[in-house]
Amino acid sequence: MARLAGAVSVPQYLRAAPAGLGSPRRMAQGVARVPGPTGRPRPTRLGCNLGRRPFCPGENGGACVGQTTRGKGTKWRVVVDGHGVPWGNLLDSASPAEVPLLEPTLETIAVPRNGPGRPRQKPERVIYDKACDADPRRQRLAKRGIELMCPHRRHRVNPPVQDGRKRRRYRRRWTVERTFAWLGNCRRLLVRWEVYITMDQAFFHVACLLMTLRQL
C-alpha cells in the first residue's frame, strides 16, 4: 500500500478536487442561492417528549408510584414458598398500607400442576407478621381454604385462635426476607426508571425467573 500511495502526487490530487466543482464564479453563485442565514446548527435534544409521551425515563416517576416518609417509590409484594421461590407478586404504589394488599397478592398465585388441571392458587397456609392479626381477615382466608399464621398483637382483646405449636412456623419467615434481599441486588429494580408499570413488572418477572432457575 505504501508503494501504491507514493505514486500519487499530492499537489496534483489537491488541484483535481476543486477542478470538478467548476470555476470560482460558479461556486460563489451557488453559495449565494442558499436560503436563510447559515449560522451554527442548533443542538438536537433527545428527550422531553415525543408525541406528547415521555421519551426519556425519569427516576421514580410514572404509574403506581406513591409518596412515603422516605420518598417516592413502588411497593413490592411477593409470595414465596419454603425455599424462597416466588409464587406470585404484585407491584403497587408505596402510599397505601401493606396489609390490605395481602388478598390481592394471593390472587396472583398461579403454580402449574404436574398433570392436567388449572394452576394452584390456594396455598395451605400463609405466614405473615403481626400487622395482619385480624379475625375478619382470618375468616375470609379460611373460607378460601387458607390458614393465616401470624403472631397475635400485644393488646389483643379477643382470645387467641392459634396455639404456640402453630405459631412456631413463624420462625421460617426469614425466607421471604431473603427473597427481598435477592431482589434488592437487582440494580434495575432498586431504583425505578420505567415510566410504565408494565415495563417495571417485566423486569420484576425476569428477576423472579432468575431466582427460580437458581433453586432448580
Which CATH number is 128's domain given? 3.30.420
How many whole angstroms separate alpha carbon 102 and alpha carbon 109? 12
**Which amino acid does the sequence have at 168?**
R
- Cell, residue 86: 416466588
Give domain status of residue 20, yes or no: no
In a domain, 89, yes or no: yes
- Alpha carbon dihedral 32, 33, 35, 36, in 10-degree steps, equals 10
> Domain count of the chain?
1
Please indicate whether residue 47 or residue 197 has the higher confidence score (pLDDT): 197
- The answer to whether position 171 is within a domain reads yes
pTM listed for this prediction: 0.64
- Residue 163 inside a domain? The answer is yes
Q: How buried is residue 57: exposed, middle or buried, by Cβ count under 10 Å (0-12/13-18/19+)? A: middle
Between CA 57 and CA 35 the distance in angstroms is: 38
Mean local confidence (pLDDT), 169-177: 85
pLDDT of amino acid 65: 85
Domain hosting residue 184, numbered range:
66-215
Confidence of residue 49 (pLDDT cuts 50, 70, 90): very low
Dihedral sign, Cα of residue 80, residue 138, residue 169, residue 99 = positive
Measure the CA–CA gap between 90 and 77, rounded to whole angstroms. 5
pLDDT of residue 162: 77
Residue 41's pLDDT band (cuts 50, 70, 90) = low
Please give the grid coordinates belonging to residue 16. Answer: 483535481
What integer pLDDT is reported at residue 13 of this predicted model? 44
Cα–Cα distance for residue pair 63/74, rounded to 1 Å: 9
In degrees rounded to 5, what are phi and psi of residue 126? -130, 130
With beta carbons less than 8 A apart as the criterion, state whether 179 and 172 touch. Answer: no
145 in a structural domain: yes
pLDDT score, position 160? 81
175 within some domain = yes
Cell of 24: 470560482
pLDDT at residue 46, as a whole number? 46
Q: What percent of the chain has pLDDT over 70?
A: 72
